[in-house]
Structure 1
Amino acid sequence: MRFRRLFLAAAVAACLASQSVLAPQLATAQNLPNLGGSEREDLSPLMERKLGEQIMRDIRRDNDYLNDAPTLEYLNGFGNSLVEARPEVRGEAGFDFLFFAVRDPALNAFALPGGFIGVYSGLMLAAQSESELASVLAHEIGHVSQRHIARMLGSQKQDMLIPLAAMVLGALAARSSPDLGMATMMGGQGYAMQRQLNFSRDAEREADRVGLQILGEGGFDTSGMVAFFGRLQTATRAYSENAPAYLQSHPLTTERIADIQARIRDQRYRQRADSIEFQLIRARVRVLQDPSAQGLREAAALFESQLQQKSRVQTAAAKYGLAFIALKQGKNEQAQALLEEARTAALKNSAPLAALGIEARLAAGQPALALKEAQAARTAYPLSRGFAMQYADALTASGKSDEAVRFLRDQSQLYRSDVEVQQHLASAYAAQGKQALQHMALAEAYALNGALPAALDQLGIARKAPDASFYDQSIIDAREREFQERRREELKESREARK
């Protein structure tokens, strides 16, 4: 519920701000062509991406955002393989797709403006095959490809923004006072929000059509979409009024399922084996979904039951999950032993196994071995951001903080929008005892996350640090002026949106 309230508030707040101030200016300045339909004219592709980035900044600050490198890299590798199977889904806007997960047991997934696609942990666990997960992601890619969100937002009338503003206030108030939030949101605003976030039946069918094309060209079993939606339809009857969240935001009808079945009737059946990474990440997500003591006990019981299936892949996933639980519980030797059993069952190393191995080495106080494994992982997966950060951690833990700083500074030039780089750079500076640079790096991390007040606070601390040089002070002055200007612009946009 905490994440869902934040998502609703962020989506509508960004919508209000963008439509009243930014959209007309950017659309005019860029003179970008639209993709047809007068309803899209108010939201250019550039504005659509900016809107998605605004919402993502709020989502990333929420505790239920799964900021877990192996999970993120699997989702983005898998999701973008679907995009590459049918590159034209990027459309005239040429969106770069970003996939992410949030911690929530509900069965749900959603597309944000500009190519950002979120998946709830509950849905990842409910998908019984990689083809089923692909069917959901492909459907959401279809929404982005057809610019359904841009069309929805572009066609809104100004008078609809009044009840939406009330919903924003209620959603934000509910974080500190549920009763106050409920009172604010009463009076019909719930219905207004539902109309804004739900797609029409035509949009759903259109996303299904694009999704099926992606599945077919990607070599997936297209019947996975029917199987997954069929289970959701059964769940609707079981839940009665409390239908799964995915059905609330993606209306599912018998007609829609029949349409999907008609489209795949003449297609040849394709059996596609699930990758070992799919099963390993599902085990990892099961642990991350509820990291409480009770949650870990329940996950361990499920993994023990999974071992009874005597399947090689299921055994590897269960051992991996048990190793992850042992690591969470501080049982480092047990974690390493279980991880070796998982590797044996998997018959090969893979990115999730390698990442957990490095994590276990660092937790056990074995930095030299962690560094060796991190170097090997970077060679095997040169584009992995997760392994790059583990490599930096291993350098720092091995007492090679100078080398870690050089590496991370290079990374910061290559990936200027990567918050993780700045956070790790701050840790490396702390290991060197360089206080001013540590807080300057933290300021950059906060700024990238959209937390400008916190970024300004960090610059203030850096300015007072005893080791702040004249050069550091000059950088602090420049960044402070820039952050203050950005902050004034944000406040101005917020005031304009409330008018």
Structure 2
Amino acid sequence: MLGDTERQDLSPLMERKLGEEIMRDIRGDPDYLDDAPILEYLNNFGGALVAARPEVRGETSFDFFFFAVRDKQLNAFALPGGFIAVHSALMLAAQSEAELASVLSHEIGHVAQRHIARMLGQQRQDALIPLAALVLAALASRAGGDAAIGVFSAGQGLQIQRQLNFGRDAEREADRIGFQIMGEAGFDTSGMVAFFGRMQSASRSYSDLTPAYLQTHPLTTERIADIQARIREQPYKQRADSLDFQLVRARARVLQDESGQGLADAEMFFKIQLEQPGRFQQAAAQYGLAMIALKKGDPRQAQVRFDAARDVLGKPPAAGTFSAAPPTPAPNAILTGMELDIRLAPNQPAAMAQRALREADAARLRFPLSRGIAQQYADALLGAGKVEEATRYLRDQVQLYRDEPKLHQLLAKTYAAQGKIALQHMALAESYALSGASLAALDQLDLARKASDAGFYEMAVIDARERELQERRREQLKEKK
């Protein structure tokens, strides 16, 4: 197989290390959508695709990580080691979960066949040089790059024809793997052609507006014909989209542009969407309007819109419409999280703090795997004045989930409320380090060292962490030369 060649030039462990280094830079980018409901949905959805074909994890059993970036171009890209991104615009353009599954499955195919590792292996150079190019390529991908292949290859001066030939082979193989994943996960495989075909039609109508996904994933007639032939061999599957799919798309629409004009455009879109017949679409529109109301600092209007979403979901489906969902959906983490956001909003009356805490406590027990609700519970503890309890809870959380910057930010907030200045700056240092901001992290450690309450134990931890971050900083500078 294409993905099996030249494996010795870039080990799976090195591939993962490259991906983790790139992710540190991406997490520090303001357009990285660090939104708990979107991240949870993408990772649950993408995880189900991976679980349908476990061998895509490879010999080292990589944990895939799916994330979103704020960008109005239709694109998605894969990074070394199982990190897969989707642009917010592509989430909005996908008309069904089958279409979204076609894109994510294709990117999983690139990772599973180690296309990036093969390209890096062909360079036969020190790994530090490819890392610098990959960081640049990953950040540039929002302007139209995929899997760092195009930018990286151009940087090394490979012949254009060789790049195109490799790209075509890789795309066909990713199509094949992605198609198999979709089918085994129970999705309608025609979603792949439907999505690609709609983008191709758009590019023919507006030649100067070719979707970035088509630029980075060139669709040849041969590829489309091959996908269509595979579809004819598969039994037709009808699968209703989940409520979460519609809710997450509403979140992405609001978060894609949070300017005054952007929110006004989103509001107009949701009001038009309210006229659509589907319950889930109507509920998502009310949910989006509730989110906009919160952005505008109006929790009362947000509650009105949220209640309207609940009312829509309580109604039976309209006659003649297909719905595999029950009239009243099961408890939903995204809806619960929105209701907690409303309870925790700044402009709520003081008495709401205790109610928010009770509901957040119940929610974390109902949804123990939701990282967003776990963070909301910590916010609720702080809002109710239970600072010591919040500190204990967050200290346990950061031990279990060491790679979540928001947990360290919240922990810093609790330490500040207790007047523990050294610990506050140490927690902020961890938050910055996880977000790729090594210099800011070092500055926080310096402030922690100067704090009057820094004892022997804190100083030892500060010194050790400072050495680690300084070494990382030296490596980053060396890589970018």
Same fold (TM over 0.5): yes
Gaps of 5+ in 1: 1-33, 174-184
2:168 corresponds in structure 1 to 201
Structure 1 residue 227: deviation in Å? 0.4
Specify which of 47, 62, 77 is matched with residue 110 of structure 1: 77
2:393 corresponds in structure 1 to 407
CA distance, structure 1, for counterparts of residue 16 and residue 74 of structure 2: 26
Counterpart residue identity of residue 474, structure 1:
A
CA distance, structure 2, for counterparts of residue 231 and residue 217 of structure 1: 24
1:285 corresponds in structure 2 to 252
Structure 1 residue 132: deviation in Å? 0.5
Q: Deviations over 1:272-318 (max 9, x none)?
A: 00000000110111000011110111111111111112331111011
1:24 corresponds in structure 2 to none
Q: Does 1:154 align with 2:121?
A: yes
Is contact 2:271–2:285 with CA below 8 Å preserved after alignment?
yes
CA distance, structure 1, for counterparts of residue 84 and residue 165 of structure 2: 15
Q: Deviations over 1:368-412 (max 9, x none)?
A: 222222222212211111111111111111101101110111111
Structure 1 residue 452: deviation in Å? 2.2
Is contact 2:18–2:131 with CA below 8 Å preserved after alignment?
no
CA distance, structure 2, for counterparts of residue 436 and residue 73 of structure 1: 33
CA distance, structure 2, for counterparts of residue 435 and residue 40 of structure 1: 49
CA distance, structure 2, for counterparts of residue 353 and residue 250 of structure 1: 35
CA distance, structure 2, for counterparts of residue 256 and residue 293 of structure 1: 42
Is contact 1:197–1:249 with CA below 8 Å preserved after alignment?
no
Q: Does 1:356 align with 2:342?
A: no
Q: Does 1:66 align with 2:72?
A: no
Is contact 2:32–2:70 with CA below 8 Å preserved after alignment?
yes
Specify which of 308, 328, 344 is matched with residue 295 of structure 2: 328
Is contact 1:164–1:193 with CA below 8 Å preserved after alignment?
no
Is contact 2:3–2:118 with CA below 8 Å preserved after alignment?
no
Structure 1 residue 471: deviation in Å? 2.8
Q: Does 1:273 align with 2:240?
A: yes
1:178 corresponds in structure 2 to none
Q: Deviations over 1:49-100 (max 9, x none)?
A: 0111111111111111000000000000000011011111112231110000
Q: Does 1:431 align with 2:417?
A: yes
CA distance, structure 1, for counterparts of residue 117 and residue 239 of structure 2: 34
Specify which of 43, 53, 56 is matched with residue 76 of structure 1: 43
SS of alignment partner, residue 372 of structure 1: helix
2:202 corresponds in structure 1 to 235
Stretches (4+) displaced over 4 A: 161-173, 188-199
Q: Does 1:381 align with 2:367?
A: yes
Structure 1 residue 459: deviation in Å? 1.0
1:477 corresponds in structure 2 to 463
Specify which of 230, 241, 257 is matched with residue 263 of structure 1: 230
> Counting helix residues as a fraction of each chain, which structure ranks higher?
1
CA distance, structure 2, for counterparts of residue 68 and residue 164 of structure 1: 27
Counterpart residue identity of residue 417, structure 1:
D
Is contact 2:74–2:212 with CA below 8 Å preserved after alignment?
yes
2:53 corresponds in structure 1 to 86
More displaced stretch, 232-241 vs 93-102? 232-241
SS of alignment partner, residue 468 of structure 2: helix
SS of alignment partner, residue 68 of structure 2: strand
SS of alignment partner, residue 110 of structure 1: strand
CA distance, structure 2, for counterparts of residue 198 and residue 255 of structure 1: 14
CA distance, structure 1, for counterparts of residue 273 and residue 16 of structure 2: 42
Q: Deviations over 1:139-175 (max 9, x none)?
A: 100111111111111112659x9999899899999xx
1:140 corresponds in structure 2 to 107
Gaps of 5+ in 2: 141-150, 314-327
Is contact 1:104–1:120 with CA below 8 Å preserved after alignment?
yes
Q: Deviations over 1:178-197 (max 9, x none)?
A: xxxxxxx9xx8698698879
Map 1:116-127 to 2 at 5 A.
116-127=83-94
Change (3 A) 1:271 1:42: same
SS of alignment partner, residue 94 of structure 1: coil
Specify which of 266, 272, 290 is matched with residue 305 of structure 1: 272
CA distance, structure 1, for counterparts of residue 130 and residue 192 of structure 2: 35
CA distance, structure 1, for counterparts of residue 260 and residue 451 of structure 2: 40
SS of alignment partner, residue 246 of structure 1: helix
Structure 1 residue 264: deviation in Å? 1.4
CA distance, structure 2, for counterparts of residue 193 and residue 277 of structure 1: 45
CA distance, structure 2, for counterparts of residue 338 and residue 291 of structure 1: 19
CA distance, structure 1, for counterparts of residue 407 and residue 290 of structure 2: 27
SS of alignment partner, residue 77 of structure 2: strand
1:5 corresponds in structure 2 to none
More displaced stretch, 326-335 vs 199-208? 199-208
Is contact 2:193–2:224 with CA below 8 Å preserved after alignment?
yes
CA distance, structure 2, for counterparts of residue 377 and residue 344 of structure 1: 20
CA distance, structure 2, for counterparts of residue 135 and residue 166 of structure 1: 28
For normalisation by structure 2, the TM-score amounts to: 0.87
Q: Does 1:371 align with 2:357?
A: yes
1:253 corresponds in structure 2 to 220
1:215 corresponds in structure 2 to 182
Specify which of 318, 334, 337 is matched with residue 304 of structure 2: 337
CA distance, structure 2, for counterparts of residue 193 and residue 66 of structure 1: 36
SS of alignment partner, residue 344 of structure 2: helix
Counterpart residue identity of residue 96, structure 2:
S
Q: Deviations over 1:401-445 (max 9, x none)?
A: 101110111111112222222111111112222211110101112
Specify which of 438, 451, 455 is matched with residue 441 of structure 2: 455
SS of alignment partner, residue 236 of structure 2: coil
More displaced stretch, 442-451 vs 87-96? 442-451
Is contact 1:412–1:422 with CA below 8 Å preserved after alignment?
yes
SS of alignment partner, residue 344 of structure 1: helix
Q: Deviations over 1:350-375 (max 9, x none)?
A: 12111111111111432222222222
Specify which of 452, 465, 473 is matched with residue 466 of structure 1: 452
Change (3 A) 1:61 1:199: farther
